[in-house]
Structure 1
């Protein structure tokens, strides 16, 4: 193929553009906003398959991404860090299938949980080392890497795939713009938002993360980055509200400070809301009904960073070399 248009400049769109350009294609990105304005910029961006169906394909893509991010972490300028932490387990039926994609995961009993975690007796854990991205630094690095490969980027409102085909005359189109993807294609009624709210605190020196999906008070996670700690969160299916809710923020702060007491006196640095693009399954593949090849790659829920490089490689394989 000659030129390929990627719609979307979040972590999925940028990763796809990178892999296609690296394979020799001429690529342009069309997006309503730059990466800094996308939901990717809101994410805690720790490797973890959250709000996504843990199918074999998802776990394979997650594993590919894990190893790619692990390599990128050797270069500090990428913003990727390898950090140890604990996933708390409060239920016997907790899905731990994701551990097959993570090397060296260790099962912890209650007495073995790290001292900085204040969890109820009977809670166990899975301790492992995960990649996480300092989102601002990582998205800047990824954008620069894409541009260095010759990809052209245009910030513009896209109303439909047909509009792109008629105006730009690309040889193929990849739709990878998160929650807006279904509307652009017009053939998908399975996609819905999951509202996520976070508050970021000044980092008192923490390096270890904690994920507590089954906290009885609500989804709770603590992800320390270089200077701040991303604290969450919420899982609100169907909500399109992108406003910060003060009451929700206070509830998040109560949960994270109870779980990690070292955060008790830390000031708020920033706050944000993002809409995770959820679906019963990730949509990745060819889309019928157009006069040129069109591909979809969206519906990653809270696992955009987790699946980014693996799914980008899948799209590149479907399209083939230049």
Structure 2
């Protein structure tokens, strides 16, 4: 059997899928127009939480499988650490699906989250500037390759199996108009001494969260549907800082280090299925993870690998 596979896309989904396949003995090449810091994944916060992803039941299963991996690799060179923080406007009943996962779930005290109910939790927090190179290194250690290459058609891949992890690019590559951008903007500031992450329970186009990462604090954010601009909006940035400072006043005076914008590849449901190209070769579609690519990456990758190997 020819065990060559080309994966389109070098975000967290493409790289993780490549790792799983390469470590199972497949000859993996990852083709991507953008790699590393240029990918949407690089903009992610990235807190482990199944945000903006469907179907919910499958997403939670993928998330729990991924959680086990992040616990294994936490610390050291992976860019993953288990960090404590607050899920604001959240009750213990809403996180019942995590009971037994050993995440230290408990109701917040007023001192931990004074603006309403919240849940204290210890979740994986991922520094994507470190994690993406680590994923690429693990892929290469397993014999995989990453090639910078623009692909306009899935049929361009010269392998018997193609895995489409193109994210938002799948809108064109797979002719799938259900894939839509959800624009996220972040502000990077010097950390004024904040040790714990916080996610407020905002809904709609405006979000409020802050994630301490080594040497900086990430402030967010936005969730603007069908917005394509990658240019940071100064007014939006000011509003982000203002909302975060309402929770932690010391953020207001923090020096701004930079701005980030990324387009989450949202879809009514993740597309994870096996099909065929026009010439009969196998294609596995694996995209539409919204704002939860990091959260579900390993569980999804293993399912995708099963489809590559003939399941489903």
Task: Give the structure-1-normalised TM-score.
Answer: 0.90
Aligned partners of 1:7, 1:275: CA distance in 2, in Å?
17
Q: Distance in 2 between matches of 1:99 and 1:191?
A: 29
**Pair 98,191 (structure 1): closer, same or farther in 2 beyond 3 Å:** farther
1:202-252 deviation digits (Å, cap 9, x = unpaired)? 112322110113279931011111111111000100111111000000000
Q: Distance in 2 between matches of 1:268 and 1:31?
A: 31
Query: For 1:161-240, what aligned pairs fall within 5 Å after superposition?
Result: 161-164=154-157, 168=158, 170-186=159-175, 188-214=176-202, 218-240=206-228
Specify the alignment match of 2:142 in structure 1. 149
Give the count of matched residue pairs. 308
For 1:24-35, list aligned pairs within 5 A. 24-35=25-36
- In the TM superposition, what is the alpha-carbon distance from 1:36 to its structure 2 partner? 1.6
Following superposition, the deviation at residue 104 of structure 1 comes to: 3.5
1:127 Cα offset (Å)? 1.1
Secondary structure of 2:222's partner? coil
- 1:122-175 per-residue CA deviation (whole Å, 9 max, x = no partner) reads x101111100111111111111111111112110110010222xxx2x010000
Deviations 1:70-95 (A, max 9, x none): 1110x4111111101110116x8x95
Query: Alpha carbons of 1:270 and 1:171: their partners in 2 closer, same or farther (altered >3 Å)?
Result: same
- 8 Å Cα contact 1:54/1:97 also seen in 2: no
Alignment of 1:1-322 (within 5 A): 1-53=2-54, 55-73=56-74, 75-89=75-89, 96=95, 99-100=98-99, 102-108=101-107, 112-115=109-112, 117-119=113-115, 123-164=116-157, 168=158, 170-186=159-175, 188-214=176-202, 218-290=206-278, 291-320=280-309
Q: Which runs of 5+ in 1 are unaligned?
A: none
Q: SS at the partner of 1:262?
A: helix
Distance 1:216 1:315, change over 3 A: closer
Unaligned runs of 5+ in 2: none
CA distance in 2, matches of 1:242, 1:101: 40
Seen in structure 2, the aligned counterparts of structure 1 residues 101 and 218 have a Cα distance that, compared at 3 Å, is farther
Contact 2:105 2:122 in 1 (8 A): no
Contact 1:50 1:303 in 2 (8 A): yes
Cα distance in 2, alignment partners of residues 298 and 105 from structure 1: 31
Q: TM-score, normalised by structure 2?
A: 0.93
Residue 219 of structure 1 aligns to a residue in which SS? strand
